[in-house]
Amino acid sequence: MSSQRYRLSGGTTIRTDTPLSFTFDGKSYHGYKGDTLASALIAAGVHLIGRSFKYHRPRGIMSAGSEEPNALVRVGTGAYAEPNLKATQVELYDGLIATSQNRFPSLKYDVGSINSVMSQFLPAGFYYKTFMWPASFWMTYEHFIRNAAGLGKVASDPIDPERYEKTHRHCEILIAGGGGAGLMAAYQAALSGQRVMLVDEQAEFGGWLLSDDAVKIDNMPAYDWVREMQSLLSNMDNVTLLPRTTMFGYGDHNYITLAERVTDHLSPRPSHLPRMRLWKVRVAQVILATGCIERPLVFGGNDLPGVMLASAVQSYITQYGALPGSRAIIVTNNDTAYQAALAFQNAGGFVRAIVDTRTTVKGAWVKAAKDAGIDILSGHGLTGAYGIHHVGRVEISPITADGREITGEAVHMDCDLVMMSGGLTPTVHLHSQARGKLVWDEKHLCFKPGATHEAEQSIGACNGSFALSSGLAEAIRAATKAVKSTGGTCTALSVPDVTALRINYAPMAYWKAPSQAGAGQGPKAFVDFQNDVTSADIQLAVREGYQSVEHVKRYTTTGMATDQGKTSNMNALGILADALGHEIPDVGTTTFRMPYTPTSMGMIAGRDIGGLFDAVRLTRMDSWHRAAGAKFEHVGQWMRAWYYRHDGETMEQAVTREVLAARTTAGLLDASTLGKIDVRGKDAATFLDRIYTNKFSSLAVGKCRYGLMLKDDGMVMDDGVTTRLADEHYHMTTTTGGAAGVLDWMEEWLQTEWPELDVFLTSVTEQWSVATLSGPHARAILEAADISVDLSDTAFPFMSMKQGYVSGLPARIFRISFTGELSYEINVPARYGVALWTALMKAGEAFGITPYGTEAMHVLRAEKGFIIVGQETDGTVTPLDLGMNWIVSKKKPDFIGKRALERTSMADPKRKQLVGLRTDNPDDVIPEGAHAVLDPNQPPPIDMLGHVTSSYASPNLGYSIAMALLKGGHKLIGETVWIPMLDGQKPIKAVVTDTVFYDAQGDRLNGTSSS
């Protein structure tokens, strides 16, 4: 067990009374509550954390926040493992197991680091250039590239065992970022009584104030002020405080998405809480107080473990009480690093020197450093860092005032820590996501928020106001304004007194250190650490002709890693601008997109997974079907019985048995899923006349009629039988899959085009359970089931409806047929579904009643040439194409689709038309979707006639039948066509026929057989 050799006594968030233990790569370590994995590793003296993406270079910890590009680890084991977590963001808990990534066989000795030696052969665009030809080889390359490049591996278990939640919220004011400015704004806004939310991605509020021990607010240490603000806010009922919560998305109309890490930091995790919670918040006014991110400097070897951001070193010392080294070199182009240098020295470290790229350095912090006896090398740059697994030596060179040239010999210094500061970049991501504009700030060398698009304001460092006092003043102003614009009132607080050494923050433009070595020589100078993009890559891209920042970004992949270039974008822009000879604002920026930080897909899915991913609709007879061994198929959201398999049967045998029974004895089908719409109103008949191609106003009460619905382009959209229940009352049925669409369609016409029509539509699909009894014995079975209705042909003819009782159950009985047999559709109130079904099964037992599924239904209807919308049609098929001219009214003045059917192109004899196919060999069943041709020996490209829409072996006919949409099909009847097959099988020969294969006279509808 390793001791915490580099642990300091203090630490604003460290609770030394709660020690924790954890492992990294199998080795045990200790830390404290309040640590991140990164700070605990630093306290233990561990700096080598992972290997880089492309070159497998050793990498350590660079930052102390969510901008970390290097220290990516895998946390947890088994199904709970999560890769690519930033060690700087992983809160320590007892028993945490972390593993390094992207190394083999071990972190220290990694085979893949050969890429680093080979790096001169791996420039920008290497993959594009090398693996372009031949394209078919990509399949071979890809496997190796994917293994060599990339980061951590996802958990091997495909099922994430964690639970995630979503929640919705509205509030007047949301503040992102709980540093000094955010806390101030939240308190000011909360005084109005409006609903206020304050979110911060860290475990504790305070932001940079947790790391700044040199500043006093209202005469108290900054951290005490933070705690006071926090306790004030937590006592206000109108305030929601969300630590560990990242505002990762900024959507239109102030739609804000937050990722809250609820239990990741707890051990053990309480089972009643989700791991993460996705908040979807609609906000009236957003205040962004997201702070800023320090930039690295670009010099050779700047990616070595031990090279860190100066501000991060200060955070590890002040916030976490962990000392990242003992002998430090500070390199900077601005004043802010001086405070970090002093913090390091005060914590017991030895500052070897401050290397400042500026020729003249002055100001309060410079004086403080000098007073503390620290050597300052102004007008110098760090031109190289060296070491194997850790920085051990740096090269320092005198440079010109513009920082572009080296003016003399280098000196070398030993060190175990480099603290670099390239200036501050405002975190404008969310402002940019909200489509706010960015403006260039020449003094501070950064982009800051310009004009806003949404109702949002940026305050503090993310607004380019780096001094705490101006951040607090902006907070009060912004919060007061936000309150006012949401209709609230509050009195502006006075700005707290800030006591701090004055920083004259004006960094020098120094985007890349000059090099003592020649071009392409010397250690690599990284710009994008996570994607291993160097300054040379960017310069190469420019030499190769890339000009646009968007193109350079994609070609070099700079800024395209999961950190979205938080530490790299500005340096990349600076180097690009230099290489192009442009000013930075003229080069422009790329667009920031959500998520701000990588976000768990599990959280976005929430509970909408597995069985809850999509609703499953079951009929009331479902349990009966399951008990009877039914196999099911999905029809839309419905589960329909597909076929009932008896012991020892194949599917084919089961379907054959069911099909034969329906034509010889009786079959029973669960037809409850059929769409049913109740159409009522004075104008119901007029309305249906417009919706259907045929006439429904002439339908007598109690009678049924089959109808076809078209879109206004003349194409078939749905069909079904509609029955007139009363003068102003119809019962419409639709296809199972089309029900919702048909209801919406009819509502649309009623509301938007014909509001004058008095019609009301109600979906009643789920109000009725429907059993369809079909076959020669159907009448006898219903009589045995004690039906109260006279079933004789005269009293109850085909295409009519009667109300009565079946086995004591109130029923609507429709004498309609989708099988061509004598057939009754018995509708009972839904809750009687099983009662009806079992009563019919019992009554039919002596008659050989057989339940049949949707597959048998398809065969039976195909034998009769009945179409299924969506199978024989695909949105390009007219009634004329289907040979259904008989259903298109010539007398009605108008109906939807009428005008389109009159278009000249509709009469084109080359249109695909529905025909039957009978195969030459009765045992050949053509695959559905297969194409038919006239001449299979024609050299490619072969003229296609069209495709097969339905195809079955017909047990009743004893041969194979099919329907097909063929060009000019109606004229082809009697001709031979060929269906070429895949994989060298012989083409199938078939004759084009009419679509009605069975009982063309329709005698069987009456229960009598013509044959």
Partner 1 sequence: MLQLPCPYCGPRDELEFSCGGEAHISRPLAHNKISDADFGEYLFLRDNPKGVFLERWRHASGCRRWFNVVRDTVSHDILEVYAMGRKPRSSAGKNAYNNSWRRTSAAEAAAVNK
CA angle (542, 546, 547) in 5-degree steps: 95
- Residue 786 as a binder of partner 1 (CB under 8 A): the answer is no
Supply φ then ψ for residue 415, to 5 degrees.
-170, 165
731 conformational bin, left if phi > 0, alpha if psi -120 to 50, beta if neither? beta
Q: How far is the CB of 438 from partner 1 (least distance, A)?
A: 18
Among 375, 442, 586, 753, binds partner 1 (CB under 8 A): 753
Q: How far is the CB of 249 from partner 1 (least distance, A)?
A: 10
The answer to whether residue 614 forms part of the interface with partner 1 (CB under 8 A) is: no
SS3 call for 73: strand
Among the candidate windows 51-59, 585-593, 740-748, 959-967, which touches partner 1 by CB under 8 A?
740-748
Which lies closer to partner 1 via its Cβ, residue 450 or residue 810?
Answer: 450
Considering only 129-137, 751-759, 787-795, 812-820, which stretch makes contact with partner 1 by CB under 8 A? 751-759
**CB of residue 185 to partner 1, shortest distance in Å:** 24
Determine which residue in the list 251, 702, 848, 922 makes contact with partner 1, applying CB under 8 A.
251
Site string (408-447) toward partner 1, x via CB under 8 A: ----------------------------------------
Structure tokens at 915: 């025909």
Choose one: 515-523, 608-616, 775-783, 896-904; the region binding partner 1 (CB under 8 A). 896-904
Closest CA to 932 of 985, 994, 992: 992
Q: State how far Cα 902 lies from the chain centre.
A: 45
Of 555, 532, 531, nearest to 543 by C-alpha is: 555
Concatenated DSSP letters for 376-438? EEETEEEEEEE-SSS--EEEEEEB-TTSSSB-S--EEEE-SEEEEE--EEE--HHHHHTT--E
CA-CA-CA-CA dihedral for 795, 798, 803, 804, to nearest 10:
60
- Out of 94, 165, 649, 713, name the contact with partner 1 by CB under 8 A: 713
Which of 282, 695, 703, 729 forms a contact with partner 1 (CB under 8 A)? 282
Cα separation, 534 vs 557, whole angstroms: 10
Determine which residue in the list 437, 626, 899, 986 makes contact with partner 1, applying CB under 8 A.
899
Compute how many residues bind partner 1; rule: CB under 8 A. Answer: 24
CB-based burial label for 357 (10 Å; 0-12, 13-18, 19+): buried
- Which range in 29-37, 183-191, 352-360, 892-900 contacts partner 1 by CB under 8 A? 892-900
What's the burial of 461, exposed, middle or buried (CB within 10 Å: 0-12/13-18/19+)? buried
Residue written as tokens 């993310």? 462
Residues 370-399, interacting with partner 1 (CB under 8 A): none
Give the one residue of 375, 583, 652, 747 binding partner 1; rule: CB under 8 A.
747
Task: Please report whether residue 128 would count as binding partner 1 according to CB under 8 A.
Answer: no
Rounded to the nearest whole angstrom, what is the least distance from the CB of residue 747 to partner 1 in the complex?
7
Q: Are 324 and 42 in contact (CB under 8 A)?
A: yes
Q: Which residues pair with 446 in a beta bridge?
A: 441
Spell out the residues 6+ positions from residue 323 whose beta carbon is closer than 8 angstroms to its own: 6, 7, 8, 42, 43, 316, 317, 344, 347, 348, 349
DSSP string, 803-838: EEEETTEEEEEEE--SSSSSEEEEEEEGGGHHHHHH
Report the residue from 751, 794, 937, 1001 that binds partner 1 according to the rule CB under 8 A.
Answer: 751
Structure tokens at 959: 């041969």
Smallest gap from Cβ 262 to partner 1, in A, equals 24
Contact 7, 35 (CB under 8 A): no
Task: Indicate the SS3 state at residue 840.
Answer: helix
Q: Which is nearer to partner 1, 441 or 713 (CB)?
A: 713
Kindly tell me which residue out of 253, 443, 890, 910 binds partner 1, with binding defined by CB under 8 A. Answer: 253
**Residue 322 to residues 6, 312, 398, 992, Cα–Cα distance (Å):** 6, 11, 33, 85
- Nearer to partner 1 by Cβ, of 248 and 338: the residue is 248
Q: Render 888-905 in DSSP notation, one character per residue.
A: S-SS-S--TTHHHHTSGG
Tell me whether the omega of the peptide bond preceding residue 909 falls within 30 degrees of 0, making it cis.
no
* DSSP-based three-state secondary structure for 490: coil
Residue 893 contacts partner 1 per CB under 8 A: yes
Residues 290-349 that bind partner 1 (CB under 8 A): none
In angstroms, give the least distance from the CB of 256 to partner 1.
10
CB of residue 241 to partner 1, shortest distance in Å: 25
Any contact of residue 591 with partner 1 (CB under 8 A)? no
User: Binding partner 1 by CB under 8 A: which of 744, 766, 783, 790?
Assistant: 744
Q: How far lies 264's CA from each of 268, 269, 987, in Å? A: 10, 8, 62
Instruction: Tell me if 255 contacts partner 1 by CB under 8 A.
Output: yes
Sorted by sequence, the CB contacts under 8 Å of residue 109 that are 6+ apart come out as none
Quote the least distance from Cβ 573 to partner 1, whole Å: 26
| Minimum gap (Å) between residue 435 Cβ and partner 1 | 8
Do you find a cis peptide bond into 134, omega within 30 degrees of 0? yes
Q: Which is nearer to partner 1, 210 or 688 (CB)?
A: 688
Q: Which residue has the tokens 């700047």?
A: 302
| Helix H or strand E encompassing 528 | strand 526-528
**Least distance in Å: CB of 456 to partner 1?**
14
- Does residue 894 touch partner 1 according to CB under 8 A? yes
Position 367 contacts partner 1 (CB under 8 A): no
Q: Please, which residue, 900 or 957, has the CB nearer to partner 1? A: 900
Q: Does 607 bind partner 1 (CB under 8 A)?
A: no
The candidate with the shortest Cα–Cα distance to 892, out of 699, 692, 684, is 692
Closest distance to partner 1 from the beta carbon of 903 (Å):
5
**Interface characters, 206-245, with partner 1 (x: CB under 8 A):** ----------------------------------------
Contact pattern for partner 1 over residues 443 through 472, marking x by CB under 8 A = ----------x-------------------
> Does the protein bind partner 1 through residue 252 (CB under 8 A)?
yes
With CA atoms as reference, report the closest residue to 605 among 274, 281, 282. Answer: 274
User: Can you name the residues that pair with 806 across neighbouring β-strands?
Assistant: 787, 809
Pick 229 or 709: Cβ nearer partner 1: 709
φ/ψ bin of 597: left (φ > 0), alpha (ψ from -120 to 50), beta (otherwise): beta
CB of 680 to partner 1, least distance (A): 16
Q: Is residue 165 close enough to count as binding partner 1 by CB under 8 A?
A: no
Among 97, 155, 900, 973, indicate the residue that binds partner 1 (CB under 8 A).
900
Closer CB to partner 1, residue 142 or residue 747?
747
Nearer to partner 1, 777 or 898 (CB): 898
Half-sphere exposure of 657 (CA within 13 A, CB side): 16
Nearer to partner 1 by Cβ, of 892 and 971: the residue is 892
Does residue 105 have a cis bond before it (omega within 30 degrees)? yes
What type of residue is 749?
Answer: W
Query: For partner 1, which is the closer residue by CB, 484 or 899?
Result: 899
**Looking at beta carbons only, is 247 or 721 nearer to partner 1?**
247
Only one of the segments 151-159, 249-257, 411-419, 579-587 lies at the binding site for partner 1 (rule: CB under 8 A); that segment is 249-257
Q: Please name every residue paired with 922 in a beta bridge, in sequence order, or none if there are none.
A: none
CB-CB contact of 503 with 336 (8 Å): yes
* Piece of the chain touching partner 1 by CB under 8 A; list 344-352, 648-656, 671-679, 899-907: 899-907
Smallest distance from partner 1 to CB 676, Å: 18
**Closest CB to partner 1 among 746 and 915?**
746
| Interaction site with partner 1 (CB under 8 A) | 251-253, 255, 282, 453, 712-713, 744, 747-748, 751-753, 755, 893-895, 898-900, 903-905
